[in-house]
Chain A
Amino acid sequence: MTHHHDNDGGDGITRRHALECMIWAGTGVLWTLSGGVPVSLNLLGAAQAAEAMTNGFTFLQISDSHIGFDKAANPHAIDTLKEAMGKIQALPQKPSFLIHTGDITHLSKPAQFDNAAQIIGGAGFDVHYVPGEHDLIDDANGQAYLDRYGKGTKGAGWYSFDQNGVHFVGLVNVVNLKAGGLGNLGGEQLAWLADDLKAVSDSTPIVVFAHIPLWAVYLEWGWGTDDAAQALAMLKRFGSVTVLNGHIHQIMQKVEGNVTFHTARSTAFPQPAPGTAASPGPMTVPAGQLRGLLGTSSVMVKQGGQELAIIDSTLA
């Protein structure tokens, strides 16, 4: 049920980071900072979570809730988000906050934003958002998103914050997209990022989150970001960098040097694995299988262990 993708030229070098897929079990990616390195936990792994809580704090990633989506692939995207939030609320150890990696809504309509805010906000967590392209298609080209989530952000909604010694950076790569191109950060945001990182020491763990993957997952379907390399170059000097994305509605990961890349699942509908369908559009599965493909995943990074384990989860 899980996918390994280690697109590094096929030379197998990065296989030293033996990826190990495990079981499906939860609704979000629950991350903890242990020994300065982000470690994600199986949502059902109470013992692990308890251990993590003694060493640091946890946060949880949800993505691609697509409130307003009502097509065959999931006529009730609002219900599956409610289920996901219910599972998060039921966690024995509460995350310190959530991050949402975009596509909160399907069509940027006010009622869709309102419903999402009610369901996600109603759970009582602090939530740090970045927009997906579906959040910026109101008639004012993104003003609806900024009105709701833009406070304290720069430009199209990017920002950073620090928590427990970790520097978090929320980037926006879904505006000013160019013909024939991929996701786009743009010069203004890259300049801001360079400035933002100046005061951060090399030993500070960095967590970057954005909607479209910041690595080349599958360019034929636009799953990558044109100028991500410039951002990643700025992150080379840091000992620990974790990049969290959404957009592709499935788990993928890659470890390259000091950087761990990871994409989360959607709470709304699955999308096909790269190249396995005519298009990346919503994938309709038999009704009984849908919840087995929703939710997101947990990832465990063992410091110094060169081993990255993904523990995926379902809403089933």
Chain B
Amino acid sequence: MICMRMPARQMAMMLSAFTLATAAPAPLRAADAPMVTIENFAFTPQVLTVKPGTTVTFRNDDDIPHLVVANDNSFRSKALDTGDTYAFTFTKAGDFAYYCGLHPHMQGKIVVAP
């Protein structure tokens, strides 16, 4: 209730500070962030289930570049060199099969379910 009497600018500053404060711990949750690693010419996990609106990060841990391409072309990364990442936000529910555009025998799937 005190906040309601604050000048708008001061409140905005306070909210801004709050946002910064809450952003800081984010790296601590990185292990929980949806991640597909690419190692030994394979996507791990091969099938990842997430909720709509989730951003999935693909990271290449191989010494060879890989390229993440959706079978339906709904997403496509650039070539990912060692350590490079690609993030895509899955907004719609459904199964999204993908493969490596350079080594197409490498396949994976993102299942987006509410």
Contacts and interface: CB of A to CB of B under 8 A. Distances in A.
A222 B65 contact: no
B41 A107 contact: no
Interface of B is mostly: loop
A148 interface: no
B101 interface: yes
Interface residues of A, number: 25
A280 B102 contact: no
Interface of A is mostly: loop
B105 A71 contact: no
B105 A107 contact: no
Interface string B30-43: 00000000001110
A83 B97 CA distance: 44
B40 to A, nearest CB: 4
Given A139-B78, A221-B41, A178 B62 contact: no
A181 B79 CA distance: 19
Interface in A269-301: 278-282
Interface residues of B, number: 24
Contact of A279 (B40, B82, B97, B99): B40
A137 B101 CA distance: 10
Given A71-B82, A279-B62, A281-B63, A182 B41 contact: no
A133 B64 CA distance: 11
Contacts of B104: 177-182, 222
A263 interface: no
A182 B99 CA distance: 12
Interface of A: 71-73, 106-108, 133-134, 137, 139, 177-182, 219-222, 278-282
Interface of B: 40-42, 62-65, 67, 69, 71, 78-79, 81-82, 97-99, 101-107
Listed from nearest, the 10 A-B pairs whose CB atoms lie closest are A137-B79, A279-B40, A179-B99, A222-B105, A279-B41, A71-B63, A177-B104, A278-B40, A133-B102, A181-B104
